[in-house]
């Protein structure tokens, strides 16, 4: 993957991009393979090259998963955990399908951030955008219906991955939207019957994105 396509590194000059690429190592994951576990020491920053990575936490009994977010190509993992006082992963990550990530060692990434101010500024901008996204998510959870949140999720996935994007399982999607699997299934069925989405297994096409957008208040 060209790191220029990654939002975190989009504004870097060719010299800084080359320095980063020189530190990155490819790691391939089979479906269901764990990338890291909650509580493990943070060793790397990860960039998803292909596939889909689920970030989740377990309940105190270690049985039930709460899905925090899903990351596809071009997305970054563990960028916040790098800067914790006690840098351990606050959640676990697992491949939902055969995937490939780039791993940039923590120490080398810090050295590059300190030596290259453009990279430091890009990191601050990226973290600020992520905070804005979390505030936006909180607003949607509090003030908007499941149908609206689902439409917004589908449109975001469409913009990131294009037509035929992968849909998480209903329990995973419910966790992301702050609802229950039954509500996800019911709303997906309604959108399908209305012709607003096409489903092929867990792959989704949106024939008229504007029609879906108009359902969001």
HSE, side-chain direction, 13 A CA sphere, residue 88: 6
One-letter-per-residue 3-state SS of the chain: CCHHHCHHHCCCCHHHHHHHHHHCEEEEECCCCEEECCCCECCEEEEEEECCEEEEEECCCCCCEEEEEEECCCCEECCCHHHCCCCECCCEEEECCCEEEEEEEHHHHHHHHHHCHHHHHHHHHHHHHHHHHHHHHHHHHHHCCHHHHHHHHHHHHHHHHCCCEECCCHHHHHHHHCCCHHHHHHHHHHHHHCCCCEEECCEEECCCHHHHHCCCC
According to the model, what pLDDT value does residue 136 have? 59
According to the model, what pLDDT value does residue 21 have? 86
Domain count, the chain: 2
Q: Of 83, 103, 137, which residue is a domain's last?
A: 137
Whether residues 113 and 178 share a domain: the answer is no
According to the model, what pLDDT value does residue 133 have? 61
According to the model, what pLDDT value does residue 25 have? 92
Q: Which two tokens stand for residue 85?
A: 């006082």
End-to-end CA distance of the chain: 37
CB atoms near residue 159 (< 10 Å) = 10
CATH, residue 83: 2.60.120.10
Q: Of 92, 121, 137, which residue is a domain's last?
A: 137
According to the model, what pLDDT value does residue 143 have? 45
According to the model, what pLDDT value does residue 62 have? 65
**Residues sharing a CB contact under 8 Å with residue 164, sequence separation 6 or more, in sequence order:** 200, 203, 204, 205
pLDDT tens for the chain, 217 residues: list them: 678 788 778 777 888 888 888 888 999 999 999 999 988 999 998 999 988 898 888 777 666 667 777 888 888 888 877 777 678 888 899 998 899 999 999 888 888 888 888 877 877 777 767 666 665 555 555 545 788 888 988 998 888 888 988 888 888 888 777 777 888 888 899 899 999 999 888 889 999 999 988 888 6
According to the model, what pLDDT value does residue 47 have? 92
CB atoms near residue 91 (< 10 Å) = 20
Whether residues 16 and 114 share a domain: the answer is yes
Structural domain of residue 128, as residue ranges? 3-137
């Amino acid at each position: 993957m060209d790191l220029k396509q990654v939002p975190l590194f989009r504004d870097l000059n060719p010299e800084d991009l080359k320095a980063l690429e020189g530190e990155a190592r490819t790691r391939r994951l089979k479906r269901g393979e764990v990338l890291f576990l909650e509580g493990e020491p943070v060793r790397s920053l990860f960039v998803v090259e292909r596939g889909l990575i689920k970030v989740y936490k377990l309940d105190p009994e270690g049985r039930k998963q709460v899905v925090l977010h899903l990351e596809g190509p071009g997305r970054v993992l563990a960028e916040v955990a790098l800067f914790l006082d006690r840098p351990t992963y606050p959640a676990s990550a697992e491949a939902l399908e055969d995937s490939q990530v780039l791993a940039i060692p923590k120490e080398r990434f810090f050295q590059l951030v300190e030596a290259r101010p453009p990279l430091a500024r890009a990191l601050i901008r990226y973290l600020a955008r992520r905070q804005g996204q979390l505030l936006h998510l909180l607003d949607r959870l509090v003030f908007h219906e499941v149908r609206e949140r689902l439409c917004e999720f589908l449109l975001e996935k469409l913009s990131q991955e294009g037509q035929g994007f992968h849909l998480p399982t209903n329990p995973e999607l419910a966790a992301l939207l702050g609802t229950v699997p039954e509500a996800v299934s019911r709303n997906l069925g309604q959108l399908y019957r209305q012709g607003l989405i096409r489903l092929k297994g867990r792959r989704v096409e949106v024939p008229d994105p504007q029609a879906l957008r108009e359902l969001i208040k």
